[in-house]
Amino acid sequence: MHRPPITTNSQQGFTLIELVITIAVLAILAGIAVPAYQDYVTRGRRAEAMSQLVELANRQEQFYGNGNFRYSSTLSVLNVNPTTLPGGHYLLAIPVATTARYTLRADALGTQADDTACYRFQLDSQNRRRSFASGGAETTDTANCWPQ
């Protein structure tokens, strides 16, 4: 028995309107997801900087307690490279070091320098935690810059 071929008028592919709607939905999702991801990465790098400053403060106290009775003014004495953070997002420095006190600093580098709200972090021997905007003014946004 011979059957006649089945003919269908089904359409293959997408119509232009379907394609435009799909692209619009993807653009909206990307417009939400990309800034949220960038904010997440920025906050993660801030946490790395804070962690490194606390570690550096511990090394300063250990250096002092090992019979030096002063704080180191150089990172190399404390066995720290100036850019110890992965990716080099912050530059570590010791702007103040005396026999009685020290101040440690982490300055944003590269893409992290776009973080104008929390551009610089400081930690001193009194455990005062400060952050500065890119213009140099101290920030009052401690919830984001130095969360407790």
**pLDDT tens per residue, range 21-35:** 999 999 999 999 999
Examine residue 11 and state whether it is found in any structural domain, yes or no.
no
Number of domains in the chain: 1
38 Cβ partners below 8 Å, 6+ apart? none
pLDDT at 80: 84
**Residue 141 included in any domain:** yes
Lowest mean pLDDT among 15-19, 41-45, 135-139, 140-144: 140-144
Question: Maximum Cα–Cα distance for the chain, whole Å?
Answer: 104
Q: Is residue 79 part of a domain?
A: yes
**pLDDT one-digit tens code per residue, 58-116:** 999 999 999 999 999 999 999 887 655 667 899 999 999 999 999 999 999 988 988 88
Residue 102, pLDDT score: 97
Domain that holds residue 99: 16-145
In a domain, 88, yes or no: yes
pLDDT value of residue 4: 66
